Structure 1
C-alpha cells in the first residue's frame, strides 16, 4: 500500500517540522532521560513513521519505516 500525501510529504524532513494531524503516537524511546525517538501510526494510510531526535543533523528526520500491507 502506498503512503498518503501527508506521510510522503514529511518523509526525510527535519524533526522540527510539525505534523500532528492524523498521527497517533505509538511509542517513545529515551536514553538517560533524553528523548531520542518517537514512533507514530498514520490514521489515514496506517504507515509507521519514526521521528529521530539524536545523531548527526542529517539523521534528525522523520522517516516512514513501515507501510501497511
Structure 2
C-alpha cells in the first residue's frame, strides 16, 4: 500500500487524523493534511488509511494497493 495526498484539494476537516493519526497529521499553520507514514506496514494502519480516504470530504487522499 502507498498513500498519496493532494494538499491543494484538502479542506482541513481533520477527518483523516481522527481516523488514522499514525498515518496522517495536519500542518500547524493551516490544518492541511500531511503524511506521517506514506507506506503503512501494519494491517490495522492500512485499514484506517483506507477508511480515512473514504471519509475525506475533499477526496484529497489516494490509496494505491500493491501486490
Same fold (TM over 0.5): no
More strand by share: 1
Larger Rg: 1
TM-score normalised over the length of structure 2: 0.34
More helix by share: 2
Q: Which has the higher contact order (CA 8 A, sep 6+)?
A: 2
